[in-house]
Amino acid sequence: MKKCNDCGRCCEFGSGFLAEDDKEKIASFLKITIKQLEAGFLEKTIMFGTEAWRPKFSRPFGRCIFFSEEKHCTIHDVKPALCRLANCREDATGAFYKKYFVKSGKGKDKFESERIKQSQDEWSLRERIKNGE
């Protein structure tokens, strides 16, 4: 994986998704509660049928809320998982989405099974578009 050169370009055009314990790490770093982090800095969305969180950013493709001209990523030490994996020198978003958001197997109930199928269908469509099919 190519190392981030901290140019700030990625942060100027959106934000990365959180995974695992990112919320806890960022809240601790900022010395706020997770509820305060969610209310003031994050937005909830759905990725491939799965709930996901990401830092807020100005629309449609504006700066991440944690970006500053002087410092670039103001939470660099605890930046979200996608930001750690992907940067403007290497795109790892596909691998990240597949690992954290595309579910496999059968669900516990009908709703979860349908959500998993939707997730797999969305992933297949994304891959076909990416491959020019």
Question: What pLDDT digit, counting tens, does each position of 13-67 carry?
Answer: 778 889 889 999 999 999 999 999 999 999 998 877 778 899 998 777 788 999 9
Look at residue 129 in the predicted model and tell me its pLDDT. 65
Question: Is 116 or 64 the better-scoring residue by pLDDT?
Answer: 64
pTM, 2 dp: 0.69
What was the pLDDT predicted at 125? 62
Q: How far is CA 78 from CA 5, 19, 52, 59, 109, in A?
A: 16, 12, 17, 24, 36
Which residue type does 48 have? Answer: F
